[in-house]
Amino acid sequence: MIEIVRTDLKNILRDPSLVLICFVPFIMLALLYFGYPALLAVWSDAAQYSGLGLAMFCITGSVMPGLAIAFAMLDEKDQHLQQVLQILPVSFRRITLLRLTTTYLFGFLSALLILTFSGIKNYSIAQTLLLSLLTAAIAPLMTIIPAFYASNKIEGATLSKLLNFLLILPLPAFLFPGIWGWFLMVIPSWWIYFAFENSSLPITFVLAVAGGLILCSGLTAVLIRLIFKKQ
């Protein structure tokens, strides 16, 4: 199983575009650390949106390593290597679960890095860990959907753009509050924005984290079941 992870990393490192994707969390961190103070200097009202902005950057940073693994899996599909993986002693399902776990861990570390060192908001250790766990939960979804529902890297890139749009879609609900915004609860990223916005309300915050984790893990489990039911 370790060899699978090592092979994925080698495949990613061979492609400069995938390497760049993996550096996105550090780019997000740099933009927040250096750009946010400059933004406040010219637009002080931006401070009231700091939670939402931080959530958006954390989401972007968390899903990018997963997209890199998704494109590495699409490379295997293009080279017809998935048939080889399916005859290994380790089941292809277990390999996929390992890859999704890896994307979750990288997503968690990415969010943790941004929350800890961006200097935007001061969260407690518990809040930082919970927000990182919640944000990372969306990474496996961003991995498994392009990897299994796209036929090649071009389709994968198109599908990834659509998914990235869906990640941002709930944001206006918090900028322009109204009852209509609650209908966006079916989108996993809504719960992330909601948790960031309500970090000062302990009960609401914990419920938001729990709701987001349940939704993301449930959708991931359903997708895995549907994918391997066909195989």
Mean pLDDT lowest for which of 87-91, 107-111, 124-128, 140-144? Answer: 87-91
Mean pLDDT of 49-67: 91
Return the half-sphere exposure (C-beta side, CA atoms, 13 A cut-off) of residue 157: 6
Nearby residues of 86 by Cβ (< 8 Å), 6 or more positions away: 92, 231
Predicted pLDDT at 17: 75
Q: If DSSP states are collapsed to H, E and C, what string results for the chain?
A: CHHHHHHHHHHHHHCHHHHHHHCHHHHHHHHHHHHHHHHHHHCHHHHHHHHHHHHHHHHHHHHHHHHHHHHHHHHHHHCCCHHHHCCCCCCHHHHHHHHHHHHHHHHHHHHHHHHHHCCCCCCCHHHHHHHHHHHHCCHHHHHHHHHHHCCCHHHHHHHHHHHHHHHHCCHHHHHCCCHHHHHHHHCHHHHHHHHHHCCCCHHHHHHHHHHHHHHHHHHHHHHHHHHHHHC
Q: What pLDDT, on the 0 to 100 scale, is given for residue 177?
A: 81
Region of poorest pLDDT, from 72-81, 133-142, 200-209: 72-81
User: pLDDT (tens digit, 9 = 90+) per residue, 15-31?
Assistant: 777 777 878 888 889 98
Q: Summarize the confidence of residues 60-81 as an average pLDDT.
A: 83
Residue 1 has pLDDT above 60, yes or no: no
Residue 7, pLDDT > 70, answer no
- Taking 80 as the threshold, does the pLDDT of residue 82 lie above it? no
Instruction: Calculate mean pLDDT across residues 140-148.
Output: 92
Residue with tokens 């984290």: 209
One-letter amino acid identity for 132?
Answer: S
- State the pLDDT at residue 3: 61
Task: Please tell me the predicted confidence (pLDDT) of residue 188.
Answer: 94
Q: Which of 131-140, 149-158, 186-195 has the lowest mean pLDDT?
A: 149-158
Q: How far apart are CA 143 and CA 70, in angstroms?
A: 5
Query: Residue 196 above 60 pLDDT?
Result: yes
Q: Which residue has the higher pLDDT, 158 or 12?
A: 158
What's the pTM?
0.89
The arithmetic mean of pLDDT across residues 86-114, rounded, is 85
The stretch 170-175 carries a mean pLDDT of: 90
- Tell me the Cα Rg of the chain: 18
Q: pLDDT grade, residue 89 (50/70/90)?
A: low
